[in-house]
Each structure stands twice: as structure tokens, then as C-alpha cells.
Amino acid sequence: MQFRIVTILLFMAGFLVSCSESDNTSPTMSTGEDDTVNPLVTSAEVSNASENPFFNPSPLYFNYPQFDLIRNEHYLPAFERGIAEQLIEIEAIAEQDAAPTFENTILAMELSGQLLQRVSSVFYSLAGAHTNDDIQALQQELAPRMAAHDDSIVLNPLLFDRINTIYETRSELAPESARLVEKYYVDFVRAGAALNPGQQERMRELNAQIALQRTLFSQNVLSEVNDLAIVVDSREELTGLDDTAIGAAAEEAQSRDLPGKFVIPLLNTSGQPALAKLQNRALRERILQTSLSRGSRGGAFDNREAISTILRLRAERAQLLGYDNHAQYVLEDETAGSVAAVNQRLAELAPPAVANARREATDLQAQLEDSGGDFNLAAWDWDFYAEKLGVERFEFDDAQLRPYFELDNVLTNGLFFAAEQLYGISFQERTDLPVYQEDVRVFEVFDAVGTTLALFLGDYYARSSKRGGAWMNAYLSQNDLLNTQPVVANHLNITEPPEGQPTLLSFGEVTTLFHEFGHALHGMFSNVDYPYFSGTRVPRDFVEYPSQVNEMWATWPEVLENYAVHYQTGEPMPTELLQKVLSARQFNQGFATTEYLAASLLDQSFHQLTPEQVPAADEIIQFEATALEAAGIALPEVPPRYRSTYFSHIMGGYAAGYYSYIWSEVLDADTVEWFKENGGLLRENGDHFRQTLLSRGGSEDAMALFRRFRGRDARIEPLLERRGLN
């Protein structure tokens, strides 16, 4: 998750929050003695530094954000002042008389824009985690303005000349400093610094338009997923759901002024959890068809025009920079290195995945018929009959597991316990620090020697103000230059139970909890010199690797036995049930791999187009069908995990990068083998992983870090075995 140089915007796990730049009239700061008043602020209520919590670093512990003081009207003045301050700082760097040096140019840029970073980190985090109408309106206003601000820096010819001069003599610097110079140079070139003035002007226009369209896309996804929640008239239609799920549906309906009815909110993926339980086939079909229709139904939330526009503008921008298409531009800077490498990996995995999915479909059709069904298996039937078949084969179902996975217990005795055993860290909940929503929890994280390592926020429940999915973000990142320590957050979308009832997780939610905490550990263990390299600021197809590794501890016997206890009786999960859970891990992997690969192939198909090849809005859905058919992965029973019209990953930061989950999983599966070979959950193993890889962020080449940890290049065989593709 590598940040653009200037604005240091937040990547979250699987998602880069859309933001970027200022308008064409560069703001200026007052030169008077009273610098607490920003003359740019004309529409906001707050302009005095003593009233705006962003104007100065937070006085709270670790500079933790002052959520209790932050109001909507604080954002715009802080953005405008932050932009103005950074422009002055950058101008001073670019126009100084002194000869270019690492200290007066590169380090000075790393130190610039601190106010802008403070407000950006909070604003874009809450735009995903707890948005409102004011934030969404400001997002649209800021998108082109922030894009223009970024361009005003990366397209500054005097600044680029200084960077180029330092780049030519970088061999004289220490390794991490030399790498920082290289990254700045490459980023500026890839942003258009070497283009002529006319091309740079077009680059500015493209960036502003893309930023605005991405913001509109993401807001449409959130608005429509709330708007299209499934309304059910009677409890009988919900047969199959447990009482907790039905109670939550009733409460959701009550909150929408629909007394006596039930509402099932949609999640961001194509598939929906209720499909595995609902006996009512017509309702299952309605849920899935509604989910698949998002963004393509016409009306205010239709995303097809935005997709077509974004794809065309990205392709034009790539060609302006000398690339054939956007995918080539993106992949050049990833560990994959090329379009050919990604296409080859996906092409290798698709046939065995589809073959597995077809075998699974045959088994499910037989299960369907044995259950008395006289119809052909459809996409909305898959989860329901897979659940039945799983129960038959492994003699357990999700309902038997949930009582053993109470959220607080999983968190304390599972997630934190594994980290304590592996890395020697410990956790203490803080109730004295403010939060932006009452369900959010804050923990102080202590290193093995007792010093504070980080602050960690857990935001686990779904709500209408929160985007779908799960992700990690950093409010502050570790680096020695600014002497800052990490303040990181995890976000999930667990359905909150009715008041007074426990939060019982599915096994999938437990795995997601461990996955996102892997991102958090990557951020918390950072030990680098410069902000650019901190924590999870690594190539897109490497960033998922540490988080996927952390999933292994969810099913590691010593960890699972410690947290898998019945929430009422305290009795441990029976050994035979535990073994069934472990033995079922390859079940339905054909479906899971196929739906993921289908989405990855769609991402590549869209982003390997030239501007002239990009389909028009009314051709988007047909293009998807044709692309999947051509890739040999078009199974009507297995829709892609995301369709393009609600595929926020690829309209955001994972453009041409959704393949990275499977790319990272090759490293992950091989790393799991290393832990098994070396004794598993041992402190020396955790210390080795932390010291050689997790702590280094982006300060060294990603694959060099892996080789230092593993002692060799990764092998694909452990992944093939894990997913049943061998």
C-alpha cells in the first residue's frame, strides 16, 4: 500500500480511499503576524486555530486524533490551510539557491504537509467508517482540488530538477536514503514530471476528472447498498435464519420505520451470508439478483457511466506516460513486474479452479435432488446446498460453531493471545481516549519490554454510515524522522445483535478478524527512518501477504483451543468438532477460487484496454460476460465476487491490482510451511518474521525481504495444495 508522495493518503486493506488535490487557483497564506486566522476560509464556521483541532498536533497520547472535538465544519478550513502551507513549503524547497542535497530537498519534502496529513488521515478514514451527507459533499468538492494540489507538486519542474540531480549521486547515500531518492524520482516520472507542458496540463485534467468520478462511484456504492436492503414481510419467509439474525433484521426494519417487517442489508460482495441459511428459494433468488444488479439498474446510483469514464481516462493517462494501457503502467511498479506475468499466473490457476467448481456443482446438484429438489442448481442455491453438503460430510454447520466464537473472547483470547505468544506484545483497553462512534474500542499495545508500541482501534460493527467490507488504516504511522508511533485501526462489518445479546461470529468473520489484524501488526511493527516507507507502504501485490499469514493462527490448535469456548458454559469446543473444522478447510475451494479469479480477470480485462477499446456505459455488462467467457471462467452458478458496477477495489486503489490477493497467497502459503517446519507458535519464529520482514515496511525491495525471511524464493506448491488445485 504505497502512498502518493505528497498528500500521504490512506490505503486500507483492499482499498485506497479516493482523494486528491486543489483547484487551479493556488491559495496563499496570510503574511501578517496573526497566523491563527486563515483568510482562505470563507464558508466555514471555524477559522481560529484554538477552535480547529487540526491546526495543531493533537495534545493527546501519541497525537491520537481529538475525535470528541472534530466537527464537520473543521475539515474544509484545515484542508485549505494545509494545502496553502504545503505549497509554501514546496516552493521554498524548489526555489532555494542552495545546491540540491538529500537533506534540503528529499527530507524537506518528507517533512512538508503535516497539517494536510493530519486532516486527511481523519477525514478519509471517517469517509469510509462513519460518513454523513456533509462529508460526502465535501469529498466531491475536495476530489479535484486535492488532485490539482498533488499535481502542482509532482509536476513542478524546478523540484523535479533537484530530485533528478540527487538521483544521479544517490550511490553516496546510506541504503534506505538512497532507496528513498529512487522512489521519489520514479514517482515523479510516473506522475508525468518528464512530460512537456502541454502533456502535463492534460495530465492535470485527467487526474482531476478521475478523482471526481472515483468519489462519485464509491458514494453510489454505499448509497445504493443501503437503498436496496431486502425488505421481507413475514417471519415465515426467514425460516432457516437463527433468532439472532431474525432479531437483527427486525431491528433494522424498525430503524427504517418499517414496523412489523424485516430488513436484510446487503454486503459489498456479490454473495450474501443469508443465502446459506434461507430455505425460501424465491427470497434467495431475490437477494442475489438484487445484489448483482447494483450499479446497473439505471437511476441515481447507476455506476456504468462512471466506470466507462474512469477506464477511458486511466487508459489515456497511461498512454500519455508511454504505456500501452493502465495495467502495464500499474504492474511495472509491483512485484509482479509485468502484464504478462499476471496474465500467466491467472491463466494457470483458472482451469483447475473451474474444474474443481464444476465437480462441486455436480455434488451440489446431487445434494439438491436428494433433498427433494427438482430444479437445476442456480447461483442463489450454491451456498444453501453447500451448507447442507458440508454438514453431511463433516457433520457440523456454522450454527454449531457460532456459540464458540463470541467477539470479545475471540479478540482477547484468540487474536491478542496469538500476538502475545508470537511477538511478546500485550494489550490494555483504553476508555479515556475519545472515539468517533460509540462502538469503537481503543487498545494500548505494549512491546515485550513494557514500552508502548502503538494505539489500536477496533471498529467491528456494520452500520449505514460505513462502507462494506473490512480494512485497516493508519491515523499516524511510525517513522524516526518525525518521531511518531503508529495509531492504526481495523474495520469489519459484523451485524450487531439485538441489545443484550452476545456477538457470535461465523468462522469466516473470525478469519477476517485475524486477516485485518495482520495488516495492523504490519503497521504497528514498523521500524523505519522515513514516512514514505512506514508500515504497510509496500507494493500492492505484497501488502496482503502479512495479513494472509496472520490468518493461520485462527486455526492453529493452541490458539483455537484458547478462544473457542462456549459463550454461556465456558466449555471448550469439543475436540471432534475442532477436528471437523480443520478438516473442512478445503471444502468449497473450487467455488471460492473461481469467484475470486473471475473478479481478478475482470479487473485485468478492463485495465488492459486502450482508450478506444473501453466499452460505453451500456456495453459494460456485456463486456464482463464476454471477458469471462474468453477466460474460460464463465460459470452461471458462480458469479464473480464483485461485478464492475460495485467493484470498489478496482475503481479505487486496487486498479489492475486485485490479482494481488492470490499473488500474495503464494508467499503466504509458503510462509505457513516455514512456521510449521520451525515449530509454529514460538517467540523466536515471531521475532524472526518481525525483524526480517514486518518491521521493514517499504524500506527495502519486497521480494528481497521475503528471501531474507524464508532463505529462498517462494514456491507455488503449498498454495496449490491449500486450495486443492494440485
Q: In whole angstroms, how far apart are CA 197 and each of 147, 156, 189, 193, 200?
A: 17, 10, 14, 9, 5
Q: Is the dihedral of CA 218, 222, 227, 228 positive or negative?
A: positive
Contact 221, 296 (CB under 8 A): no
Q: Are residues 453 and 553 in the same domain?
A: yes
Q: What confidence score (pLDDT) does residue 50 get? A: 59
Identify the bridge partners of residue 262 per DSSP, sorted by sequence position: 232
Contact 357, 551 (CB under 8 A): no
Does residue 670 lie in a domain region?
no
Predicted confidence (pLDDT) per residue in 536-556, tens digit: 999 999 999 999 999 999 999
> With 90 as the cut, is the pLDDT of residue 396 above it?
no
Q: What is the CATH number of the domain that holds 375?
A: 1.10.1370.10
Q: How many whole angstroms separate alpha carbon 440 and alpha carbon 397?
A: 30
> With 90 as the cut, is the pLDDT of residue 116 above it?
yes
More confident residue, 244 or 433: 433
Q: Are residues 111 and 149 in the same domain?
A: yes
Predicted confidence (pLDDT) per residue in 275-287, tens digit: 999 999 999 999 9
- Boundary (domain end) residue, out of 635, 651, 667: 651
Q: Are residues 344 and 383 in the same domain?
A: yes
Domain coverage including residue 111: 11-194
> With 70 as the cut, is the pLDDT of residue 8 above it?
no
> With 50 as the cut, is the pLDDT of residue 14 above it?
no
Does residue 705 lie in a domain region?
no
Tally the domains of the chain.
Answer: 4
Q: How many whole angstroms separate alpha carbon 575 and alpha carbon 333?
A: 47
- Boundary (domain end) residue, out of 583, 604, 629: 583
Q: How many whole angstroms separate alpha carbon 53 and alpha carbon 75?
A: 10
Residue 103: all three cell numbers together: 537533506
Q: What confidence score (pLDDT) does residue 582 get? A: 81
Q: What confidence score (pLDDT) does residue 45 get? A: 40
Q: Which of 389, 340, 343 is nearest to 364 (CA)?
A: 389
Q: Which of 80, 316, 516, 544 is catalytic?
A: 516
Q: What confidence score (pLDDT) does residue 21 get? A: 26
Percent residues over pLDDT 90 in the chain: 87
Does residue 214 lie in a domain region?
no
Predicted confidence (pLDDT) per residue in 590-599, tens digit: 999 999 999 9
Q: Can 516 be counted among the known catalytic residues? A: yes
Q: Which of 68, 75, 60, 64 is nearest to 135 (CA)?
A: 75
Does residue 669 lie in a domain region?
no
Does residue 559 lie in a domain region?
yes
Does residue 211 lie in a domain region?
no
Residue 15: all three cell numbers together: 482499498
Q: Which of 466, 523, 514 is nearest to 489 (CA)?
A: 523
Q: How many whole angstroms separate alpha carbon 660 and alpha carbon 76?
A: 35
Which stretch of 80-84, 166-170, 571-575, 579-583 has the lowest confidence by average pLDDT?
Answer: 579-583
Q: What is the CATH number of the domain that holds 428?
A: 1.10.1370.40
Residue 425 burial (C-beta neighbours within 10 Å; 0-12, 13-18, 19+)? buried
Q: Are residues 512 and 413 in the same domain?
A: yes
Q: Are residues 247 and 317 in the same domain?
A: no
Predicted confidence (pLDDT) per residue in 194-228, tens digit: 999 999 999 999 999 999 999 999 999 999 988 99
Task: State the chain's mean pLDDT as an integer.
Answer: 91
Region 616-640: mean pLDDT is: 97
Q: Are residues 416 and 550 in the same domain?
A: yes
Does residue 719 lie in a domain region?
no
Residue 461: all three cell numbers together: 460493527
Helix (H, G, I), strand (E, B) or coil at 583: helix
More confident residue, 725 or 602: 602
- Boundary (domain end) residue, out of 194, 219, 237: 194
N- to C-terminal Cα separation, the chain: 31
Helix (H, G, I), strand (E, B) or coil at 283: helix
Does residue 701 lie in a domain region?
no
Predicted confidence (pLDDT) per residue in 694-726, tens digit: 999 999 999 999 999 999 999 999 999 988 887
Q: Are residues 507 and 377 in the same domain?
A: no
Q: Are residues 524 and 419 in the same domain?
A: yes
Q: Are residues 463 and 543 in the same domain?
A: yes
Q: Are residues 71 and 157 in the same domain?
A: yes
Q: Are residues 428 and 375 in the same domain?
A: no
pTM reported for the whole predicted model: 0.88
Q: Are residues 248 and 330 in the same domain?
A: no
